[in-house]
């Protein structure tokens, strides 16, 4: 799952080559190609009611015409406007379901970075050392969540 920074065709090709499934948010002005004809992805959202999605399977994206991919316009009940997704899932509902899980991990990312462990300020450049720091901070995070779940986490704050 990725935000708009991860909608590049090179990353999509790499993930697909690894056999991984992906869902990435993309811009509303991305061009799709279906049958060789260009189409703006935001066209999928035309007359899309809240709580629904539309998908376009086996299309290609951007001027590079990478694909085939599935493009999805999704307007969730709790969203102010439709989101646009690109995925290698053929099911639009599965893509929406997986992407919705992204928001459950945002807290973890912010705790690892700016709201907690501040690992983004470690200035580590060695991948091995950064990996060790990530292991330690993830274990510490799990430890804190475990004690919070038991109801004794407030003693550590």
| pLDDT tens string 92-140 | 999 999 888 877 676 777 777 777 778 878 888 888 988 898 898 889 8
Question: pLDDT-based confidence at 78, cuts 50/70/90?
Answer: confident
Listed in sequence order, the DSSP H helices in 36-152 are 92-100, 102-112, 127-149
Same domain, 56 and 131: no
Give the DSSP H/E element, type plus range, for residue 60.
Answer: strand 52-61
**Residues 77, 115: one domain?**
no
Same domain, 18 and 95: yes
How many separate domains does the chain show? 2
For residues 16-22, give the mean pLDDT.
90
Q: Quick check: 4 pLDDT over 60?
A: no
Cross-sheet strand order for the sheet of 23-26: 23-26, 83-87, 66-75, 52-61, 31-34, 37-40
Kindly report whether the global pTM for this prediction surpasses the value 0.85.
no
Residues 114, 54 share a domain: no
Q: Does residue 76 register a pLDDT over 60?
A: yes
For the stretch 133-154, pLDDT in tens is 889 888 988 888 888 778 765 5
Left if phi > 0, otherwise alpha if psi is -120 to 50, otherwise beta: which for 22? beta
Same domain for 147 and 82, yes or no, is: no
Q: Which two three-digit tokens encode residue 139?
A: 């274990």
Give residue 12's pLDDT band: very low, low, confident or very high (50, 70, 90).
confident
Q: What is the pLDDT of residue 75?
A: 94
Q: Domain of 60?
A: 4-100
Residue pair 86/24 in contact (Cβ under 8 Å)? The answer is: yes
d(CA 24, CA 9): 11
- What's the confidence (pLDDT) of residue 118? 82
Question: For residue 20, is it left (φ>0), alpha (ψ between -120 and 50) or beta?
Answer: beta
Within this chain, do residues 22 and 49 fall inside the same structural domain, yes or no?
A: yes
Residues 94 and 53 in one domain: yes
Domain-terminating residue out of 100, 120, 136:
100
Provide the mean pLDDT of the chain: 85
Q: Which of 61, 59, 49 is nearest to 11 (CA)?
A: 61
Question: Can you give the pLDDT at residue 125?
Answer: 83
Q: Average pLDDT of 79-98?
A: 92
On whether both 137 and 112 belong to a single domain, the answer is yes
Residues 131 and 95 in one domain: no
């Amino acid at each position: 799952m990725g935000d708009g920074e991860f909608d590049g065709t090179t990353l999509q090709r790499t993930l697909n080559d690894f056999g991984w499934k992906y869902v990435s948010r993309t811009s509303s002005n991305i061009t799709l190609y279906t049958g060789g004809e260009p189409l703006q992805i935001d066209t999928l959202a035309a007359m899309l009611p809240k709580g629904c999605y539309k998908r376009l399977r086996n299309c290609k994206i951007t001027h590079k015409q990478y694909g085939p991919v599935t493009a999805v316009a999704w307007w969730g009940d709790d969203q102010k406007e439709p989101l646009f997704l690109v995925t290698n899932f053929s099911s639009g509902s599965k893509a929406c379901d997986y992407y919705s899980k992204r928001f459950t991990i945002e807290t973890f990312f912010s705790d690892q970075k700016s709201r907690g462990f501040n690992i983004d300020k470690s200035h580590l450049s060695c991948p091995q050392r950064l990996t060790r720091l990530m292991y330690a901070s993830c274990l510490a995070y799990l430890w804190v969540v475990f004690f919070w779940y038991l109801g004794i986490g407030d003693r550590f704050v």
